[in-house]
Amino acid sequence: MSDRASAVGVLFDLDGTLVDSLPTIAEAMSRTLGDFGHEVAPDTILPLIGAPMQTLAQQLTEVSDEVAAEMYERYLRLYYDEFIQTTQPLAGASELLDRLGAAGARLGVVTNKNEHGGKLMVEILGWERHFDVVVGRDTTPHPKPAPDGPLHALAALGIAPEDAAFVGDTEFDMAAAQSASVDIRIGLLGARSATQLEASGATHIVETLDEVDAIILESRAAGRAAVGG
């Protein structure tokens, strides 16, 4: 078996998982909705982040598909002009990526940002060397919670779902990973409760990113031991 075939793949969500972007996303979305005459506080938006922004806009305002698309375009301009450059990594994120890379894991991003936004975020944080693939909501026909994104990323990495893990903080992440038959699905507490994450497919729950690599590498080692008899 080649080293590529035996490697573990780890897919990450970005917002709320690796980067502390949820407050700025909520603020940008609140301002966008206000521009269209809908006053929605950032605190109302914050617990709903995870779905594609057009879906979120319709959930909050019940506008038409056409108006939701206009809102999304306005949001993108505002977010990229004023907010994304200030986004900081979550505690332990860079260190986790370093440890996984040193262990030989192949890493990818699957985000509900568009692909440009996902790649821009990775670039802003200096993480290009860690990620071989960045999949956005527009990379495949259907964004999370559909399995398209994880399957696309794993194909690009040359990793089978049974040799992969997905780390995310919402039900959209867990459901997408479960639908793609990703073996290890790690839910990070914060945006959602443990109950919500487990109900949508999480196999493990963590409070911090410091716990993630041990779960992945120990599960991988246990699996190899079982195969070896």
Q: 37-88 pLDDT, tens per residue?
A: 999 999 999 988 877 888 899 999 989 999 999 999 999 999 998 899 989 9
Q: Which residues, including other chains, have CB under 8 Å from residue 77's CB and lie 6 or more apart? A: none
* Structural domains counted in the chain: 2
Q: Are 146 and 166 in contact (CB under 8 A)?
A: no
pLDDT the model gives residue 49: 86
Shared domain check, 172 and 100: yes
The residue from 86, 104, 129 where one domain ends is: 86
Shared domain check, 103 and 55: no
Question: What CATH number is attached to the domain comprising 179?
Answer: 3.40.50.1000
Q: Which residues pair with 7 in a beta bridge?
A: none
Rounded distance between C-alpha atoms, residue 148 and residue 54, angstroms: 18
The residue from 57, 86, 115 where one domain ends is: 86
Shared domain check, 82 and 45: yes
Rounded distance between C-alpha atoms, residue 98 and residue 130, angstroms: 8
Shared domain check, 207 and 123: yes
Domain enclosing residue 37, as ranges: 22-86
User: Residue 90 carries which DSSP code?
Assistant: P
The residue from 86, 107, 136 where one domain ends is: 86
Question: What percentage of the chain carries pLDDT values higher than 70?
Answer: 93
Question: Of the residues 13, 15, 163, 183, which is catalytic?
Answer: 13
Shared domain check, 122 and 66: no
> Is 13 assigned a catalytic role?
yes
Rounded distance between C-alpha atoms, residue 224 and residue 214, angstroms: 15
In this predicted structure, the answer to whether residue 227 has a pLDDT above a threshold of 80 is no
Helix (H), strand (E) at residue 218? helix 212-228
pLDDT the model gives residue 50: 79
Q: What is the pLDDT of residues 147-177, one digit of tens each?
A: 999 999 999 999 999 999 999 999 999 999 9
Quote the crossing angle between the two packed helices 93-102 and 212-228, to the nearest 10°.
Answer: 20
pLDDT the model gives residue 198: 98
Question: What percentage of the chain carries pLDDT values higher than 90?
Answer: 82
